[in-house]
Structure 1
Amino acid sequence: MREIVRRHLGKVVAGAAVAATATAVLVGVNLPGSEAGESGDRRANAAAAKQDAVAKDGVIEAAPEEGAKGIGSDPLTDEEIERAEKASVSGQPRASARDVEGDRGPQLLSTNLSEPDPNDTGAAPRRAEVVYYDYKKDAVVTKTVNLETGKVDDTTTAQNVQPPPSQDELVEGARLLIADPLGKGLKQDFKHATGKKLTGPDQLQLSGMVFRKETVERVPSGLTECGKHRCLQVVTKVKNGPWIDTRSLVVDLSTRKVGRLG
């Protein structure tokens, strides 16, 4: 049995020590500005502003209803997020960019409240930063949208910059892992843990991080472009089950290929 576990590339992770490691990875995922990202849920800030309920004198009171617009440094409301994202792509030819699946249009990564512009005088307007990844150019595109005017105030494009991944990217990364020969161990361990065949990402709980080739001593030949390319390490967990260690596998989403470390 021990030999079988060793042979499995994505051995099932169990026990307190490994759970603590996985938890540490996930904590990094959710920290603002972290290199790790569970997909950068673009509505995280808005959700943080909502309280489920408050108990007062033994009575549960519903959380206050969210308004259409936030004030000052309030997190973006759902309506502001929707308006910012719509404005950020208005008038832009979708054929000029590609998302993680190769479809027309850039891949949305996150939408967050922009830091105030120090050059603004008086009451500064609320702005949102909408961040995309263009797989056609391997570039990060950031649109700063003025929420008062509904127009894009600024656009920046940068290469060799890798923000935390979005959930859509993690799903596509897992899909590529499952389809690749290097994902054999992942599928074997899923079968061992559940008795079922692993056929798609929807059977897994996913998190992950951008792969930094500077963090490893030896970079496999197929992963030397990571940093310029969009490369992820996908962390997998059986839904309501154990972790499966796939951290030695790296998915290059730009080339849609999988490499192995070590």
Structure 2
Amino acid sequence: IASHAGRLTPDESRAASRIAVDAATRPGTAPARGGQNTKKDARKDTGSGERNAAGGSGAEPLDTRRPPRAKSASSAPDGRAEVQLYDYASDTLITRLVDLRAGTVLDSARQRGVQPPPTLAEAREAVKIVLADRRLGPGMRDSYASQTGKRLTSPSQLLLQGMSFLGSRAKGVDGARQVSRCGEHRCVQLFVRIPGGKWIDTSRIVIDLSARHAAVIGL
């Protein structure tokens, strides 16, 4: 692993994510600490039972970056990385500081109610939830088929962007109760485009990735 003060390389990002996710299965993980204006877990951050967006073992990686350094810090190469993950088992955002050279977690903090933008992997998982919905799935498939003449069988056939959704945005509109836990839960809205074609209108659909269901609201 190369050590420097610039951006993480793709290899470093992958290694950092692997170390942070694997911390759930290793003893001795750094104890959790609480961030400002967040709810802190009192127990040690053992990572036990963490789950990703698909329900698999290990928290969902969201972002990796080089941690900020104080101006007075040594100019020596920095072998650390900061990894953000989302644990769907506890609906918490995890930030883990990892040592790339030692392959260990140096520090870990959990926050509730903090929802960064979704990753492509999460957006694709959201499409799977929509396609599995008996009310919404047929419409998305029909829109795709009418423009391409082909069947929509996988989210990878679509160009996707997503944004986090908070229940407060739906206050006073039809369907608000269905998305009232968004913010506590990880919820997203999607922007869906057919490659080389038009957009599929998903503007009123909110996907709750934590509860794995989709709702239509009157925004």
Question: Which structure's residues are more often helix, by fraction?
Answer: 1
CA offsets per residue over residues 93-121 of structure 1, 9 Å max, x none? Answer: 37511111111111111111211156x64
Give the secondary structure class of the aligned counterpart of 1:96: coil
CA distance in 1 between partners of 2:100 and 2:48 (Å): 26
Q: Cα–Cα, structure 1 residues 116 and 233, in superposed 2: closer, same or farther, change >3 Å?
A: same
Structure 2 residue aligned with 1:75: 7
**Gaps in structure 1 of 5+ consecutive residues:** 1-67
- Which one-letter code corresponds to 2:11 in the other structure? E
Q: 1:83 to 1:196 in 2, by over 3 A?
A: closer
1:202 aligned to which of 156, 163, 177: 156
TM-score computed with the length of structure 2 as normaliser: 0.79
CA contact (8 A) 1:220 1:260 kept: no
Number of equivalenced pairs: 193
Q: How far off its partner does 1:238 sit?
A: 0.9
Match of 1:32 in 2: none
User: Hey, what does 1:174 align to over in structure 2?
Assistant: 127
Contact 2:21 2:59 in 1 (8 A): no
Runs of 4+ deviating beyond 6 Å: none
> RCO greater where, 1 or 2, for CA within 8 Å and sep 6 or more?
1
Of 138, 143, 146, 2:96 maps to 143
CA contact (8 A) 1:114 1:126 kept: no
Which has the higher Rg, Structure 1 or Structure 2? Answer: 1
- Alpha-carbon distance in structure 2 between the residues aligned to 1:185 and 1:259: 14
Q: Following the alignment from structure 1 to structure 2, what is the Cα–Cα distance between the partners of residues 166 and 207?
A: 8
Judging changes above 3 Å, is the alpha-carbon distance between structure 1 residues 91 and 255 closer, same or farther for their aligned structure 2 residues? closer
Alignment identity in percent? 34
CA displacement at 1:223 relative to structure 2? 0.6
Unaligned 5+ segments in structure 2 are 26-46
For 2:129 and 2:62, the matched residues in 1 are separated by: 19
Q: 1:105 to 1:88 in 2, by over 3 A?
A: same
Q: Structure 1 residue aligned with 2:143, among 180, 183, 189?
A: 189
- Coordinate RMSD, CA, aligned: 2.1
Task: Render the CA deviation track for 1:65-118: whole Å, top value 9, x for unaligned.
Answer: xxx52532x111123223322332445237511111111111111111211156
Deviation at 1:148, TM superposition (A): 5.1
1:255 paired residue among 200, 211, 215: 211
How far apart are residue 149 of structure 1 and its match? 4.4
Amino acid in structure 2 at the alignment position of 1:228: E
The verdict on how the C-alpha distance between 1:123 and 1:147 changes in structure 2, with shifts beyond 3 A counting, is farther
Report 1:24-43 matches (<5 A): none
* Partner residue, 1:232: 188
Residue of structure 2 in register with 1:97 after alignment: 50
